[in-house]
Amino acid sequence: MIESRNAKILLIYTGGTIGMMKDPETGSLKAFDFNNLLEKIPELKLLDCSITTISFINPIDSSEMNPDYWVQIADIIEKKYNENDGFVVLHGSDTMSYTASALSFMLENLNKPVVFTGSQLPIGDLRTDAKENLITSIQIASLMKNDAPIIREVCLYFEYKLYRANRTTKINAEHFEAFASLNYPELVESGVHLKVNKQFLLKPNLRRKLAVHKTMCTDIALIKLFPGISEKVIETIFSSPNLKGVILETFGAGNTPSSISFLQILKSAIERGVAIINVTQCSGGSVLQGKYESSKELEKLGVISGKDITTEAAVTKLMYLLGANVTNKALKTIFESSLRGEIT
């Protein structure tokens, strides 16, 4: 039996389209005061939960998002953790998958829901998707059974579906269905009823206390391979000072050019202690490093297989592990293992 025992939900507004109202005189978008949220969306009063709100002092566009802001969000959740049953984070959609993935790694032993959501149209627009996304996100964060939350992980809700956050990618800049999780099923489907796919939910160890990690290393690079990419450009990136890790977006199941000079660049970097992660640039599917001739050499060199991880999760997981000062020897084993359900 699923219930929503007047759960206490904290709504965290970071910025983004969902919190914007159109100025009737100028037509420009501006953030409204989230303390007056109930006035803008009176339907929230009908929900069987109590809602408190907190907003960034200066709400930001999601294109300005960075690890310092991730720490701010994690900090709020840590401070308000014991007095709330769940959290809903309002965020611009452009970088939401990055932020939500990062929070999944930063919040170790999380046993309450943290639901990210946003919208494609402002909350004041007649055709907005903001109200449905917000109301359902709060409902999902309020789901309880035996006085305990049903969802116990960082998620992302958009257009009738709740996804595991670190499995999502933004796939469309115009459609309301802006996100997809191509390598993992949705956790909840919103229809006449909320259908919870319990078999896919993360099951954390409830005996462990929340541990919040706030050091993220940004000395990394992302390289998307393409036919004819200049090895000089690749070499320049790999020779960047203080570089500690590179996400390599490869072809298909993890394949790269097999030229000796290209492989030598990778070999030299690995010998200097640079971690190299092999992630497919395909929207869905997995790296199968060593299956084809063109990726066998990568396996021999010690390139780390990202398996079916998304680029967003790979970037944030690498920042998290490097920030935790994981040794080069251990990094391959840990990265290729699932920490928060990000890898199958």
Cβ distance 102 to 316 under 8 Å? yes
Cβ distance 96 to 70 under 8 Å? no
Question: Of 57, 314, 292, nearest to 168 (Cα)?
Answer: 314
190-205 residue pLDDT tens: 988 899 999 999 999 8
Average pLDDT over residues 99-120: 96
Predicted local distance difference test score (pLDDT) of residue 97? 97
Q: Is the pLDDT of residue 288 over 60?
A: yes
Q: How confident is the model at residue 32 (pLDDT cuts 50, 70, 90)?
A: low
Q: Is the pLDDT of residue 125 over 90?
A: no
Could you say which architecture CATH assigns to the domain 7-212? 3-Layer(aba) Sandwich (3.40)
Average pLDDT over residues 3-18: 83
Question: Is 236 tagged catalytic?
Answer: no
Q: How confident is the model at residue 86 (pLDDT cuts 50, 70, 90)?
A: very high
130-185 residue pLDDT tens: 788 999 999 999 999 988 999 999 999 998 999 999 999 998 877 777 889 999 99
Report d(CA 60, CA 82) in Å as an integer: 27
Question: Could you check whether 7-212 and 220-335 share the same CATH topology?
Answer: yes
Catalytic residue among 14, 17, 95, 311: 17
Q: Where are the beta strands (DSSP E) in 68-153?
A: 86-90, 107-108, 114-117, 144-145, 148-149
Confidence (pTM): 0.93
Q: What is the mean pLDDT of the chain?
A: 91
Q: Is the pLDDT of residue 1 over 60?
A: no
In CATH, what number does 220-335 get?
A: 3.40.50.40
Q: Where are the domains of the chain?
A: 7-212, 220-335
